[in-house]
Each structure stands twice: as C-alpha cells, then as structure tokens.
C-alpha cells in the first residue's frame, strides 16, 4: 500500500505493518483508540494527503472490531476534516489546507490529541485539573 495504505500487489497493508493497533486492556474505548491513532497518523504526516485508508470492512476485520465501530470513527474524523469519503472511491486523507495546519509534525498531532482528551473529559464532567491528574497518575507521576 502506498504510504502504508493503498493495496498493491505483493505489498502489506498499514494494519499489517502495525501502524494501527488496539489495546483492549487499556480502559480507553476502542473507538477512541482508533480515532486518536488515525488522527495522529494523518496530522503527523505518516498518512499524507490523498492516501487511501483501508475500507471499513478491511480495518474492522483486521482489528477484529465491530464494523459499526470503524464506521463511527471514519464518520467522526470526516466530520472533523481529517479525511474525505467519496462514494465508490473510498476514504482518503484530506489535503493539508483543508485541515488548517501549517505544521504536520508529532507535536501538532499530540496537541490535537490532548485537546480532544480535555474536550472529552469536560463532556464527562471532569475539570481540567482532574483530567490532568488522571494523565499524571497513568504516567506514574512523571509529568507532575
């Protein structure tokens, strides 16, 4: 697959290369793990604009997760502008300009994930301090 995604003869898929994995023991919902990983891969440039993502069925089968879970993630990241889905053509990574990011590096990707984390925690009724404490606890206090 080109850039780890497009299927070509005698090549392996992105999932086969270990770029997308799920940790069922993490306590983080599967859909959120998948969403965060895909967003990171897009924003970091690992999946450049125009890169074709695996079909929902392919990714669901590879990760051994429900089709509806992958479908929800694809719809969510499309709504946020990371990917574009075209009927009959599949889902591909959106152009940089449509994302509104100048820098496509690891820090930018991490910043997005942190923002999403705090947004999700707020939706659960947690304060920013409580959410940050959870991260510090999980990291063994290294960030405190």
**pTM summary value:** 0.62
Q: What is the pLDDT of residues 22-64, one digit of tens each?
A: 888 888 899 999 998 998 888 888 889 999 999 999 999 999 9
Question: Which pLDDT does position 1 carry in this prediction?
Answer: 38
Question: Which pLDDT does position 136 carry in this prediction?
Answer: 85
Question: Which pLDDT does position 140 carry in this prediction?
Answer: 75
HSE at residue 63, side-chain half, CA atoms within 13 A, is 27
Q: What is the pLDDT of residues 99-117, one digit of tens each?
A: 444 444 556 667 767 777 8
Tokens describing residue 117: 């984390």
Q: What is the pLDDT of residues 64-94, one digit of tens each?
A: 999 999 999 999 999 989 999 999 899 999 9
Calpha distance 53→93 (Å, rounded): 7
Quickly count: other Cβ atoms within 10 Å of residue 23's Cβ.
9
């Amino acid at each position: 697959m080109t850039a780890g995604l497009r299927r070509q003869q005698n090549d392996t898929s992105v999932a086969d290369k270990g770029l997308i994995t799920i940790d069922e023991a993490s306590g983080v919902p599967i859909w959120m793990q998948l969403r965060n990983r895909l967003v990171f891969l897009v924003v970091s440039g690992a999946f450049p604009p125009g890169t074709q993502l695996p079909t929902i069925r392919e990714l669901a089968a590879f990760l051994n997760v429900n089709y509806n879970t992958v479908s929800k993630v694809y719809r969510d990241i499309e709504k946020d502008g990371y990917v574009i889905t075209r009927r009959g053509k599949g889902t591909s990574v959106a152009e940089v300009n449509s994302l509104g990011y100048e820098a496509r590096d690891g820090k930018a990707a991490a910043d997005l994930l942190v923002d999403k984390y705090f947004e999700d925690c707020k939706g659960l009724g947690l304060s920013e301090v409580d959410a940050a404490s959870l991260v510090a606890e999980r990291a063994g206090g290294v960030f405190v």
